[in-house]
Structures are given as structure tokens and as C-alpha cells.
Amino acid sequence: MKNPNVNKQRVERPKRILEAASRLSTHYGFDKTTVDEIAKEAGVSKGAIYLVWPGKEELIDALIEFEMKKVVLDLRTRIIDDQTNDSMAALYRHTLLAIQHNPLVSALYTRNGKVLGDFVHRQDPERYTKRLLMSKESVAAMQSAGLLREDHSPEVITYVFSLLALGFLSISSVIPEQNAPPIESTVEAIAAMVESGLTQKGGSRKLIKESALQMLDLMIEQYENRGTNDN
């Protein structure tokens, strides 16, 4: 008979290791963080880490997946909790804030080498980041459903969405935070531009929220399935 405590530790230990790796990477940078330091921070042996991940490359891949799932869960909560606004602008605002709230995922979108080190050059960050940015296919589907304007091509609208999001996330490298307006005010302005410039008037706001939650639920299921297969 399996010991439930052993199974619990087997599930919780990788999470504890990834949480430790996240804290250290955000503070010192992943390349400057050693496996020994991660093990000490997580309260496990170095060997326990290598039992799960053969090396740092596999560890950072798991770490990014771990943090991306956090962002998806955060975004889902933000959308559900917002009972006053089901607009496309609200969806875009929640997405920007969920990404910006997670330092490691934000660093992934902006290709911040100080946090992620050479990983941003060794791997293509779009493998992860495109999951939360509008794709041409999703934009085309929203146009067909009457949610987005059809006088611009899906390629153009997708590019504009990405331009606004990545510009927002990376602007601090150009304009110091102390010289910038409050984040909430900036996001509200971006969301208002999306609403007035790209949204189709009269579109079903209920459909926007339902479609977003369905997509996020599918993403969460995929993350959980990958985690199950890794254990």
C-alpha cells in the first residue's frame, strides 16, 4: 500500500524547488543562480533536483511552464472576479496586468537577459509567450463572431495587439519607472484605445468572456496534463 505522505512529498517537492528557483532567478538572474543555491533555498538536496531535471536547461524550461501556469490562473481569476466589465478592453487589461505582475514571465516577454540569462538566446521565447498573445487565428475567429472590426486584416490587428503589449512590458528599459504614470492608468488608456479602435460596436460581451474562459480552462488542463506526465 502506497504511503500518502510519500506521494504528497513527491508532488510538493518539485513545486518547492521551482518556487525557490523563481525567487532566486528573479533576484539574481538564472545564469548566476547555481543548483546548489536552489537546493538550499528549497530545503532539498542537490541530488533531489537532478532526480527530476537532468540539468539547468530542463529546470528553466519547467520553471517557465510553472510561472506561465500561474499567470493563466491569475488571468482567469481576474476575468471571473470582474463582474462589471465583459468588454474586449477589460480582457486586454487583465491580460497585461497578469503578465506584468509576474516578474519572470514579464522578463520572458521582454527577453530580459538579466533575469533569464542566455536562455532568451538559446531558446525561442515565442514558444511560451504566444500562448497569451492574440494569434491570427483567434483574431479572425473574433472578427467572424462580430467582436473585432473587419476593416483591418487579422495580421494587422494581431500585430497591433502584440505591439501594445510588448511596448507596455518593455517601456521601463527606456523610460524610468519614476518618470512614468501609474501602471493602472497606463493600462486603462491602452484598454480604452483597444475598445474604441479595434472592437466591433454591438458585439456580444458575454461571448468575449465565455470564449476567454474556455481558452484559459483548456490551457490550465494542458499544463496539468504536462505536469502529470512529468511526475
Give the count of beta carbons closer than 10 Å to the beta carbon of residue 108: 26
Give the count of beta carbons closer than 10 Å to the beta carbon of residue 114: 12
* Banded model confidence at residue 201, pLDDT cuts 50, 70, 90: confident
Using alpha carbons only, what angle is made at residue 71 by residues 29 and 163, rounded to the nearest 5 degrees?
Answer: 80
Question: What share of the chain in percent tops pLDDT 70?
Answer: 88
* Grid cell locating 33: 543562480
Distance CA 179, CA 8 (A): 47
Q: What is the pLDDT of residue 202?
A: 76
Question: Each residue of 49-87: pLDDT tens digit?
Answer: 999 999 998 999 999 999 999 999 999 999 999 987 778
Contact 22, 59 (CB under 8 A): no
Alpha helices in the chain (DSSP H): 4-28, 35-42, 46-52, 56-81, 88-101, 103-109, 113-116, 119-122, 126-129, 136-144, 154-170, 183-197, 205-230
Task: Give me the domains of the chain, ranges plus CATH numbers.
Answer: 67-230 (1.10.357)
Distances (CA, A) of 87 to 50, 149, 207, 226: 46, 14, 9, 32
pTM: 0.83
Q: Does residue 5 carry a pLDDT above 60? A: no
Q: What is the pLDDT of residue 215?
A: 84
